[in-house]
Structure 1
Amino acid sequence: MTKTGSPDGPGVFLLGVGAQKAGTTWLHQQLHNRKDADFGVLKEYHVHDARTVPELARFRQVPMELRRPRSWVQPRTWLRQCFIRSPGLYYDYFTWLLRRPHRPGRKVCLTGDITPSYALLSADALGEIKRGFQQRGVPVRPVFLMRDPIERIISSQRMKLRKLGQRDAESEQAALRRRINKGRGLRSNYAQTLEALQQTFGLEECFIGLFETLFTPTSYANLCRFLEIPYLEPAWSEKVNVSATANPIPEQLLAQLGEQLAEDLRTVRRVLPNANLEQLWPTASRWCQT
């Protein structure tokens, strides 16, 4: 039986469903740089979340008027809007990336869309993606990377503050308090994502990985096997979107985050029973009371 990712197969589509701040940008960079991969013009296409998640409808709201040149959008934004309005074009585009003529000696067998907010997609939305590619003979390979849920939120908040030029402890703590007061948040629900993947693909047909082990030869080699591509040494030292600081987080805030995110730890312990989360997720293991 010919493997789908082999030189004689149709190639595969990597569906990256998050999580945010869990290594997705690094992963896209490593894979897109390969000669046997082509992810197109974007890393995050924001098509299926814009179409099906009400809270992310902003991605389909583009105020543009042909008579006002300053309102015109970039070609990439225009392409995204075409995909949102006509999803069939989305599936055709990635199928074309796999099958279009390339330079002599180059065979593309991997393409994909890594959009962290796809973690919010329902089983119905994931099923539509699966069927869209099945109709074109392209297998879908779902990839979901998770990170210590408390560390993930802290990292996300630090990235936002860094863009504003705010790196002091007072600003960071105030931002975390505001985040906690908003509740659990859209992207802090590993259980929801895992359940949707289970219903659509079965978790045994997905790559469920951890940010904390992603940057190791064993984990990365497992991912390459899952995607049916040869192992190539990635740029281990290449850091993307680094947002660490030395600012301490008050224990009260960590305890409040732990209370909100306990379900994440409980779910991942069930799904990955062999993972040493006490070692890999020390912050969540201490503060998430399960």
Structure 2
Amino acid sequence: MIDNLFLCVGAQKAGTTWLHSQLENHEDISFSDVKEVHYFNTIHNGSILLTRRKVEHLERLIKNNKHSLERYFSDLSSGKKVDAGIDRLLSPVDDEWYISLFSNKTGKYAADFSPEYALIGKEGFSNVKRISENQKIIYMMRDPISRAISAIKYYYKMHNTNISEVPIESMRALAQSNLILNMSMYDITIKELRSCFNQDQVLYMFYENVMANKQESIDTVCNFLDISKVSIPEAQLSRRVNVTEDFDIDGDIISLLREKLANTYVYMKQEFKLPEKWYNDI
């Protein structure tokens, strides 16, 4: 079991990569070897991201370092201690596998920043509690429509697609997918988090406020985790990550998102003091 597990559960394109880059060298936090493990969404949502990453890693080993694989199987057959990294790569993905990712880590917290965990539901969050003694969760949010638009742009960027050439119907379908629409439905995730965790276990943060008060936001996170504060150079605080190119999204897509996310805006206005930059006419 993990003693103290620190998760950042989203939302995608809401500053999670930026926050990771500010905290990745903190002595009290031991991050997974990759920023986004995708374990819980693999188990509870059927995501293929973790499997794809393991396959890609294995392909690189076969191509560039097949001798390490040969040595692994030789050691395995002779009962010798095997390479832990390759063992995790070839082992079944289950709770013990996830716990092993942090077995040799130091620091107060084991940390995993996977935004897609926002969609794992009560069953997934219950799994988090089963494999860790204590949990701290940060849920980062951004104006739902702005976040969705940024995610759409990022999707086409990662697929090397010229967004200006995408048929409107294809973009409408993407806008209504789990990755885009459901990730902006903060009300659903918040209700699930509140049903599974105590109030002091979850910190809700808004991208717009974080970007306007970067060092203060880092201090807030450190207070939340009860770890030492760090003074981060302005150049690092201001460094942009995962930037997507600017492109005007068709008004029909914005109208669609506005309709689908109306209930989310109503809920968020009732529960939080929202940043001024959020859409105010919803």
Report the TM-score range of the alignment, normalised by the length of the smaller protein.
Answer: 0.7 to 0.9
Residue type matched to 1:88 in 2?
E
* Residue 84 of structure 1, aligned match among 51, 71, 93: 93
Q: What is aligned with 1:105? A: none
Higher relative contact order (CA 8 A, sep 6+): 2
Q: Is the 8 A contact 2:102 2:110 kept in 1?
A: yes
Please give the alpha-carbon distance, in whole angstroms, between the structure 2 residues aligned to 1:167 and 1:146.
Answer: 27
Taking structure 1 as reference, are residues 57 and 244 closer, same or farther at Cα in structure 2, changes over 3 Å only?
closer
TM-score (norm 1): 0.74
Q: Is the 8 A contact 1:44 1:115 kept in 2?
A: yes
Please give the alpha-carbon distance, in whole angstroms, between the structure 1 residues aligned to 2:40 and 2:260.
Answer: 27
Q: What is aligned with 1:248? A: 248
The CA deviation string for residues 66-86 of structure 1, in whole angstroms up to 9 with x for no partner, is 9x946x89x87963664723x
Taking structure 1 as reference, are residues 63 and 44 closer, same or farther at Cα in structure 2, changes over 3 Å only?
closer
Residue type matched to 1:188 in 2?
S
Q: What is aligned with 1:151? A: 146
1:1-290 to 2 correspondences below 5 Å: 12-54=4-46, 56-57=47-48, 59-60=50-51, 69=62, 79=88, 82=91, 84-85=93-94, 87-94=95-102, 96-98=104-106, 108-134=107-133, 139-166=134-161, 169-171=164-166, 176-180=171-175, 185-215=181-211, 216=213, 217-234=215-232, 235-245=236-246, 247-272=247-272, 275-277=273-275, 279-282=276-279, 285-286=280-281, 288=282
Please give the alpha-carbon distance, in whole angstroms, between the structure 2 residues aligned to 1:225 and 1:39.
Answer: 18
Structure 1: state its 5+ residue gaps: 1-9, 99-107
Once the 2 structures are TM-superposed, how far is the Cα of residue 190 of structure 1 from its aligned partner? 1.3
TM-score (norm 2): 0.76
Taking structure 1 as reference, are residues 166 and 63 closer, same or farther at Cα in structure 2, changes over 3 Å only?
closer
Between 182-191 and 193-202, the greater mean CA deviation after superposition: 182-191
The share of aligned pairs that are identical, in percent, is: 24
Q: What is aligned with 1:7? A: none
* Pairwise CA RMSD: 3.3
Q: Is the 8 A contact 1:158 1:172 kept in 2?
A: no
Taking structure 1 as reference, are residues 129 and 83 closer, same or farther at Cα in structure 2, changes over 3 Å only?
farther
Taking structure 1 as reference, are residues 83 and 155 closer, same or farther at Cα in structure 2, changes over 3 Å only?
farther
Q: Is the 8 A contact 1:122 1:196 kept in 2?
A: yes
Structure 2: state its 5+ residue gaps: 70-83
Please give the alpha-carbon distance, in whole angstroms, between the structure 1 residues aligned to 2:55 and 2:104.
Answer: 29
Please give the alpha-carbon distance, in whole angstroms, between the structure 2 residues aligned to 1:208 and 1:172.
Answer: 36
Q: Is the 8 A contact 2:121 2:192 kept in 1?
A: yes
3-state SS of 1:208 partner = strand
Once the 2 structures are TM-superposed, how far is the Cα of residue 38 of structure 1 from its aligned partner? 1.9
The CA deviation string for residues 203-248 of structure 1, in whole angstroms up to 9 with x for no partner, is 4420111111123133321111001122213322111101140x33
Number of aligned residues: 255
